Structure 1
Amino acid sequence: MLESKRRAAIFFILAFLLALAAGFLVFQKVKDLNAELGGMTKIYVAKGDIPVRALIQENQVMTIEIPNKFVNKAHITNKNELINNVSVVPLAAGEIITKNMVKPFSNLRNENNRLVALYPSEKVQYDQVVTELDRVDIIVSTEVNGQPQTEIFMRDVPVAFSDGDKPEDFTGAALEVSLEAAAQLIHVQNYADKVRILKANVGKEEPVNPVEEQQQPAVSEQLSAPAESPNIPASPGEAAVQ
């Protein structure tokens, strides 16, 4: 009886020592792994769905920890970079928020304006890389009543934000226009033969308000006009190239 108790005690002691050794080895492995990854950093993610252009509130975000090895300059680690800014894309719950997804609310000069994204394609071409706060002119080529025509569609349109600031990583920009102009711009983007985006030389002439610009005849009206309709003359200051 005593011999069996002694054996059981030795077994439990050995099991305890082996458990301690295994725990130490696991702890050491985790410690080495954390050292290799450089520790952990808190970054911000959406706590719930956040609609586009809505002011981001503190209760709409939360933090998660990721290894320092995977943290880059695009991640948001400071709450002040996020609160009371607006998201330029809709955010889903749990989605990591990066700096290029949020902009100051003041970037939209008028609450009635809209952002229209223009991505380079076979139809849309940027002659230069544009960045936030730049202004652009939009030149449209299309066929009206069987005749090719190229004209200035919009002047001095503000760039709300851009994706990429170098030619090799530039993937497009969002332009701020009035709601009426947004419909015309999207129509031209879909149905014009060619759309050229030219970086405006801001400061050399009086800027044109993009809302006022839409009082002028638009190419989208020509695109949707019946074939027998006469050409709509270009507005003052806009030369048509036959």
Structure 2
Amino acid sequence: MLESKRRAMIFLILSLLLAAIAGFLVLKKVQDINANLGTLVKVYVANTNIPSRTLIKPSDVRTDEIPKKYLRDYHITNTEDLVNKVSVVPLSAGDIITKNILKQATAVLNENDRLLTLMQSDKVYFDEPLEAQDRVDIVVSDQFSGKKQTYIFMSDVKVVRVAKEKNSFKGVQLEIPITQVPKLIHYQNYADSIRIVKANVGKEHNSTEAAASEVVNSPIDSNQDEKSNVKENEQKESNKVSKIEKDKGNSKKDSNR
């Protein structure tokens, strides 16, 4: 009886030792795997089904974790990369959102407007570098009517985006009414030159109105001065005539005496 108890105790101790060794080996293996994979990082995935070409909203996404070892540049880790973006393919719930399937949502608010790009060239000139939300006038020079002419084609056109290369301004994307798009493309291809001039939007028109008033009123003032001068000259002439007639009358009286 004592011998059987002793054997049972030995087997129990051996089993506990083997279990401890197995647990230690498993823990060591997990630690090695975690060390190889690295820490976990959060990436954004679709929370619900997202149709293509639909603006992504905050409620459409959630975060999930992946090992840092598998993190790539195309993964989304910042919400700023999702602002004003649409997916070019439909997404199912749980799909990882990557940068290569995202596209900037259009900034055109009016359904009858279109975005048209104008880049600097031997025909297209910009007087100064522009920024998004600026307003510009489009001045065209052509000979379509058989004679050289320069005129303002469009005024107060919104700049939606600007194109830059190595921080150097290269061109703009303009919001154009769809009815004017074919004309502007025609001018791009066949006009002698297109000049993009920044418009001074929001400036008070008092100075302009004052200048216009001055220009309009100045001829009137000069005419009034001329009229007053004529009246003075006529008055002087009449005074001279009356004086001469008076002298003649006096001379006649002297002769009669």
TM-score (norm 1): 0.50
Q: Which is greater in Rg? A: 2
TM-score by length of structure 2 reads: 0.47
More contact order relative to length (CA 8 Å, sep ≥ 6) = 1
